[in-house]
């Protein structure tokens, strides 16, 4: 998963340029021609973090103003308070070092709109292939082992990055792993497919196919079968997006805040918004650190209203871990890059991949 951190100086317009998760069929991303933001004030700085699909040309600036006025427990919120709170959560320490925040000068120049783009390189995280789920698995795998689990069960789409990384974590810990793969697009599952699907076998994970909406049924039956065999099963939700998993992105938020303290603040963060752990964890972590930077979630699957409700529900639960409020106005969703559906490529997405590759040598999916 990539984070785009963007500083804006004297911007004219800002393109809806977003990234996709590594090794997954991308939704869609519009690099130059989709939603445009209104003019920002001189000297404004914006941080955009990880992303994927975007939104229906809705102005960013208005949402940013609302988010900046939301109430958090500012009396106790600080980087030091967040750092201390994070120490209370056990983890496997898959993530040992902060991931870099790199400037993207060539891409910024090509887009030519006064925006300075930065990217947080979470694609460089450990486990097989890297990506955002490593941060979440750092915490949930610790809980699994603490509970004595000898089998991990999780779910995702047929080319799920989360499933790849969960299988990788299970292999690293020497425990059994089962993946329930949901065919969200008819005809998209091929047992002999390459990509992440190929890595599932390399990592010795067992695959179980499920039709659209059938994951709960298939997963429940699988867990019952494994438990009847005397195994201790730990179920990780899709994307490892529960409150504990989201703590991984509260930790990432602290890395961003510490970077900003030394290098100057960003004005906005843009992140992919799918299962929700990255988005809700980033929000909760920033606010717990006393940082009011707006976070724009680029929906990969659902419409704005649905995704906002989903993210807010998660944000409330994660914020409780840090003793903070979770105002709904903090949750900003853009949905105009979903395209025809989850994982279905578009021309704009292909252009985004090419721009990132040829100008910044970063390979996206």
3-class SS of residue 359: helix
Choosing from 108, 160, 275, 280, which is the catalytic residue?
Answer: 160
Q: Measuring CA to CA, which residue among 152, 157, 155 is closest to residue 170?
A: 152
DSSP label at residue 23: T
| Other residues' Cβ atoms within 10 Å of the Cβ of residue 123 | 22
| DSSP H or E segment with residue 280 | helix 277-288
DSSP string, 167-225: HHHHHHHT-EEEEEEEE-STT---TT--THHHHHHHTT-EEEEEETT-HHHHHHHHHHH
Cβ atoms within 10 Å of 193's Cβ, excluding its own? 13
Find where tokens 């445009």 sit: 36
User: Known catalytic residue: 160?
Assistant: yes
Terminus-to-terminus CA distance in the chain, angstroms?
10
Tokens of 39: 């003019």
The rounded distance, in Å, linking the Cα atoms of 163 and 179 is 6
Q: Measured in whole angstroms, how far is the alpha carbon of residue 105 from the centre of its chain?
A: 24
Q: Which residues are catalytic?
A: 160
């Amino acid at each position: 998963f990539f984070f785009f951190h963007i500083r804006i100086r004297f911007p004219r317009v800002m393109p809806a340029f977003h990234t996709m998760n590594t090794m997954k069929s991308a939704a869609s991303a519009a690099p130059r021609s989709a939603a445009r933001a209104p003019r920002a004030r001189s000297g404004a700085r914006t941080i955009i973090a990880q992303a994927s699909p975007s939104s229906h040309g809705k102005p960013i600036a208005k949402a940013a103003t609302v988010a900046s006025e939301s109430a958090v427990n500012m009396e106790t919120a600080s980087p030091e308070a967040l750092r201390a709170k994070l120490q209370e959560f056990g983890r496997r320490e898959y993530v040992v070092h902060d991931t870099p925040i790199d400037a993207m000068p060539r891409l910024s120049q090509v887009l030519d709109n006064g925006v300075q783009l930065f990217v947080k390189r979470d694609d460089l995280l450990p486990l097989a292939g890297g990506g955002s789920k490593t941060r979440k698995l750092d915490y949930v795998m610790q809980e699994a082992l603490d509970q004595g689990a000898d089998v991990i069960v999780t779910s995702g789409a047929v080319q799920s990055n989360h499933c790849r990384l969960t299988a990788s974590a299970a292999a690293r810990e020497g425990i059994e792993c089962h993946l329930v793969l949901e065919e969200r697009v008819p005809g998209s599952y091929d047992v002999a497919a390459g990509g992440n699907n190929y890595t599932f076998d390399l990592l010795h994970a067992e695959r179980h196919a499920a039709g659209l909406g059938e994951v709960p049924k298939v997963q429940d039956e699988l867990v019952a079968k494994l438990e009847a065999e005397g195994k201790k099963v730990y179920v990780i939700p899709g994307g490892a997006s529960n409150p504990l998993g989201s703590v991984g992105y509260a930790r990432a938020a602290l890395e961003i805040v510490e970077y900003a303290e030394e290098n100057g603040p960003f004005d906005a963060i843009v992140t992919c918004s799918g299962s929700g752990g990255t988005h809700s964890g980033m929000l909760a972590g920033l606010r717990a650190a006393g940082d009011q930077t707006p976070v724009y979630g680029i929906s990969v699957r659902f419409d704005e209203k649905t995704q906002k409700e989903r993210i807010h529900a998660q944000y409330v639960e994660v914020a409780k871990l840090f003793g903070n409020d979770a105002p709904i106005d903090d949750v900003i969703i853009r949905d105009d890059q979903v395209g025809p559906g989850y994982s279905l490529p578009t021309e704009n997405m292909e252009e985004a991949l090419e721009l990132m590759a040829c100008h910044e040598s970063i390979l996206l999916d």
